[in-house]
Amino acid sequence: MKAIRTLFHHLRPRFEEGGPYHKLYAFYESIETVFFGPVERSEGLPHVRDSLDVKRFMALVIVALIPHLCFGIYNSGFQSRLASGLSTDLLPVIWSGIWLVLPMVIVTYVVGFAWEILFAVVRKHEISEGLFVSCMLFPLTLPPGTPLWQVALGISFGIVIGKEVFGGTGRNFLNPALTGRAFLYFAYPVSLSGDQVWTVLSGARTTVVDTFTAATPLSVSASIPAGQGVEETLHSMGYGALKLFGGLYPGSVGGTSALLCILGGLFLILLGIASYRIILGGVLGVLCTGALLNLIAGPDSAPFLSLNPFYHLIMGGSAFGIVYMTTDPVSATHMKHVKWIYGFMCGMLTVLIRVFNPAFPEGVGLAILFMNLFNPLLDHIEVQLRMRRRIPNV
Amino acid sequence: MISVRTAKGYDLPIKGAPLETSQTIASPATVAVLPEHIPFVRPRLAVAEGDRVAVGDLLFTDKTNLRFRFLSPGGGRIDAIHYGPRRVLREIVIRRDVENEPVTSLGRPLDGEAIDRYPRAELVAHLLAGGVWPLLRALPYRGIADPEQVPPAIFVSLDHREPFQVPPARYLENNRALFELGLRALKRLSPTVHVHADAADRAFCEAHQGLITHTVQGRYPADDPGVVLFHVRRSPEENTAWFIDGQDVLLMAHLLQSGAYPTARLFAVAGTGAAEPRYVASRLGAPIKDLAGEIGCRDPRYLVGGVLRGYTGDPEGHMGLYETALAVLPEPGDVDFLTLFRPGPNKPTYSRTFLSALRRAPLPMTTNVNGGRRACIACGYCADVCPVDIWPQMTLKSILAEEVEEYLAQGLLDCVECGLCTYVCPSKIELAATLQAAKHAYRKEQA
């Protein structure tokens, strides 16, 4: 520890005013404060300050996401080897998964961090830690094996257009990770949609083995002909409720397991980092809309309408989106009570997009981005309503 | 007694409270007046270094209202007059003749019945001439009350929810009659006088049932007069209510009863930097070093008034007119290695992100900001603690955008300057200071 302290002590002057690397001070500072928290004397009103800072706030979100990354590594490797007819023993699966997922994560972090440093240097401020969360979320929403140049392009768009052009973390109104994800989705639909992209074949195979279902539960549900039951069809394809809940099926890297989302969501709510209002609102939105569709579903309507609402929560990325994407505090509503409305609308739109728009099998990302646009309006409404209740003091 | 409940607020779990049993008496060699820390006053000096003064002699008046007189809390010689940057008048230090202190008479002594018969205008003149008028302050700006006005109400606050304040039970112990005399005088100034105390001090509230009109429930700063007003007001006219601290009522009553300028003051000395946290019965404007006693840390900061709302005192300086608490906290030294990854059982926090959230034990604190400055991430903690339902993050944005109507409508003037929003902010934004500055700027514009 003393050695590290001495090292930083030694390096610091080179990055400070007048040093040769002064321009990279933001980078140096972000590394140093990981090892030794910053020391700054308060100026009063008040003289003491809470121990929590943004660094820890964001680091805890990353902690919540680590199980998703680990599970994503396992699941990607598992699906890949299963589809290729290879052995699914633990070690080879993890090895394949690491090769599929880690390069995406590393590319995201390197590219995202580079943009952030560039903007921090030009704007002369410190690096805001929201970036590290965005860079963790982004690869988890992609199919495993997305070409790395697309990963780099996507996170660049997310960080630069989704965030930095508005002034950086805290001033963006869209979720940066989802902005990047949506950009890739519309720019490169071939590598990001359809049934084939969710599993990567290993070895020499060019087609999946016959016993393997490459179609995701969502695309299965969306394409069932009228007259068949959805749950039964899903079950016959190997997508039972338990499997969907656990998450061991083809899908995005980190978003398939509803179980991990519940655990991560509880962790973040218990620590007071994610808003339970948004998460519960989102869950209610999905369930209510699903139930409403059940009511209007007739014998001739698409079977997707009569799907048990709980399936909407455990299939695809809705749970992941509701727990980790809607709750980004900056792009969510800032006022307390409209968070319920925001969450509910996200859940509702997710189901509506899934059921009524065959072009988009998964709607959660677009639903959240769409609702992000309304959040300033929702905030404005709550502020106005609450201002009216006050006894004026002017 | 009416019960007033505040749902928000926060009690700081800070270590170093004064020991209940420890009280000492001090007779300091010097005392001082600090014009710099009397709100909105522009002093016009009436003395020079070397002059001889008695207790109750005029030291300076206020250029903006010449009726505001500030009198000497000590008898002896003017030892020094200290100026700060831009010639701001910092301190007028009086070296006392401890053995035989001269005292000026400030009018005839009055008893309760005499006060009841006293015409209001004459009572006001008496308090102004006696130098205790500045103890009465007016909301929302917390400057000295305007003697030309009749306030809608006066709030007498027996508050001590901010860490390390003197509990009212301690200064009222042998002074109840004097306190009641002060209340009688206040009732001549305003038709309504509210006396509020913390409902958590059940024994105190029961013992003084006849005095207390409102009991307040809730965390700091539930017993601040601004917060109580926020909950009890029915119309905008009440916003300009006056307030006075419990100990200051005693000072006012002392002047009326004896005809001499009051000088007694009970201080709380606390904080992890103070080797002996205790109460000290001393003099108005007592020297900080004398009060602080032995120091238990390497690099101390002296906080005059409290750890949240106080100001940094000069160790060679003195206590101000209003402040009755002195906290000594260590300045930050080397920070822990890899704090970011530690569970933090000893890290004080409002949030639930450290293990300390599981046990509400008092923890040592330093004056470290504890983090880098960031843009607002809209965590909403500031709105969760604001006792008067302001949403500081929204109001901050209105202030920065200079939307005057907007931030006034959001309740800027209700702000009680408690400092909690800044305390809890993970982005380390100076919310309270910005709101306070906006309030003061608006006041200046109105004048």
Q: Are B308 and A37 a contacting pair at CB < 8 A?
A: no
A167 and A99 belong to one structural domain = yes
pLDDT at A25: 83
3-state DSSP call for residue B152? coil
Q: How far is B108 from chain A (nearest CA, A)?
A: 41
Low-confidence ranges of chain B (pLDDT < 70): none
Q: List the one residue out of B79, B58, B184 whose CA is nearest residue B128.
A: B58
pLDDT at A204: 63
Q: Which of A147, A172, A192 is the last residue of a domain?
A: A192
A58 and A187 belong to one structural domain = yes
Beta bridge partners of B45: B60
- Residue B104's region, left for phi above 0, alpha for psi from -120 to 50, else beta, is beta
Q: What is the rounded CA–CA span in Å between residue B426 and residue A271?
A: 14
A321 DSSP assignment: I
Q: What is the rounded radius of gyration, in angstroms, for the C-alpha atoms of chain B?
A: 22
Q: Is residue A40 part of a domain?
A: no
pLDDT at B432: 96
Q: Are B340 and A130 a contacting pair at CB < 8 A?
A: no
Beta bridge partners of B83: B89
Report the alpha-carbon angle A214-A219-A222, nearest 5: 150
Q: What is the rounded CA–CA span in Å between residue A230 and residue A279?
A: 26
A392 DSSP assignment: P
A290 and A168 belong to one structural domain = no
A305 and A375 belong to one structural domain = yes
Cβ atoms of B71 and B261 within 8 Å: the answer is yes
Q: Is residue A128 part of a domain?
A: yes
A24 and A119 belong to one structural domain = no
pLDDT at A230: 84
Q: What is the rounded CA–CA span in Å between residue A104 and residue A98?
A: 10
A138 and A168 belong to one structural domain = yes
Using a CB-CB cut-off of 8 Å, the residues of chain B touching A334 are 378, 380, 391, 393-394
Q: Is residue A157 part of a domain?
A: yes
Asked whether residue A375 carries a pLDDT value surpassing 90, the answer given is: yes
CB count in 10 Å sphere of residue B124? 20
**Is A39 in the B-facing interface, judged by CB distances under 8 Å?**
yes
**Is B233 in the A-facing interface, judged by CB distances under 8 Å?**
yes
Q: Is residue A307 part of a domain?
A: yes
Q: Where are the domains of chain B?
A: 1-336, 369-446
Listed by number, the residues of chain B in 386-425 with a beta carbon closer than 8 Å to a beta carbon of chain A are 389, 391, 393-394, 408-411, 413-414, 417, 419-420, 422-425
Domain count, chain A: 3
A123 and A83 belong to one structural domain = yes
Mean pLDDT of A119-126: 88
Using a CB-CB cut-off of 8 Å, the residues of chain B touching A171 are 375
Structure tokens at A173: 């109104």
A160 and A63 belong to one structural domain = yes
Q: Are B371 and A168 a contacting pair at CB < 8 A?
A: no
**What residue of A is the nearest CA neighbor of B344?**
A51
Q: Where do we find the tokens 């009569």?
A: A306
Cβ atoms of B339 and A33 within 8 Å: the answer is no
Structure tokens at A211: 């016993």
> In this complex, which of B310, B356, B413 lies closest to A47 when CB atoms are compared?
B310
Structure tokens at A60: 């805890």
A27 and A58 belong to one structural domain = no
Using a CB-CB cut-off of 8 Å, the residues of chain B touching A52 are 349-351, 353-354, 370-371, 424, 426
B128, burial (CB in 10 Å: exposed 0-12, middle 13-18, buried 19+): middle
Q: How far is B80 from chain A (nearest CA, A)?
A: 27
B107, burial (CB in 10 Å: exposed 0-12, middle 13-18, buried 19+): middle
**Is A37 in the B-facing interface, judged by CB distances under 8 Å?**
yes
pLDDT at B317: 95
What is the residue range of A18's domain?
A: 2-35
B148, burial (CB in 10 Å: exposed 0-12, middle 13-18, buried 19+): exposed
A114 and A79 belong to one structural domain = yes
Using a CB-CB cut-off of 8 Å, the residues of chain B touching A37 are 335-336, 339-340, 370-371
**Is B364 in the A-facing interface, judged by CB distances under 8 Å?**
no
Q: Is residue A227 part of a domain?
A: no
Report the alpha-carbon angle B123-B129-B132, nearest 5: 80
A155 and A285 belong to one structural domain = no
Q: Is residue A247 part of a domain?
A: no
pLDDT (tens digit, 9 = 90+) per residue, A152-176?
999 999 999 999 999 888 889 999 9
pLDDT band at A205 (very low <50, low <70, confident <90, very high): low
pLDDT (tens digit, 9 = 90+) per residue, B366-402?
999 998 899 999 999 999 999 999 999 999 999 999 9
Q: Which of A158, A192, A226 is the last residue of a domain?
A: A192
A58 and A18 belong to one structural domain = no
Instruction: Please state the ipTM of this predicted complex.
Output: 0.92
Residue A9, φ and ψ in degrees, nearest 5: -60, -35
Cβ atoms of A380 and B398 within 8 Å: the answer is no
Q: Is residue A125 part of a domain?
A: yes
Q: How many A-B residue pairs are in contact by the CB < 8 A criterion?
A: 221
**Is B40 in the A-facing interface, judged by CB distances under 8 Å?**
no
Q: Where do we find the tokens 């996401």?
A: A65
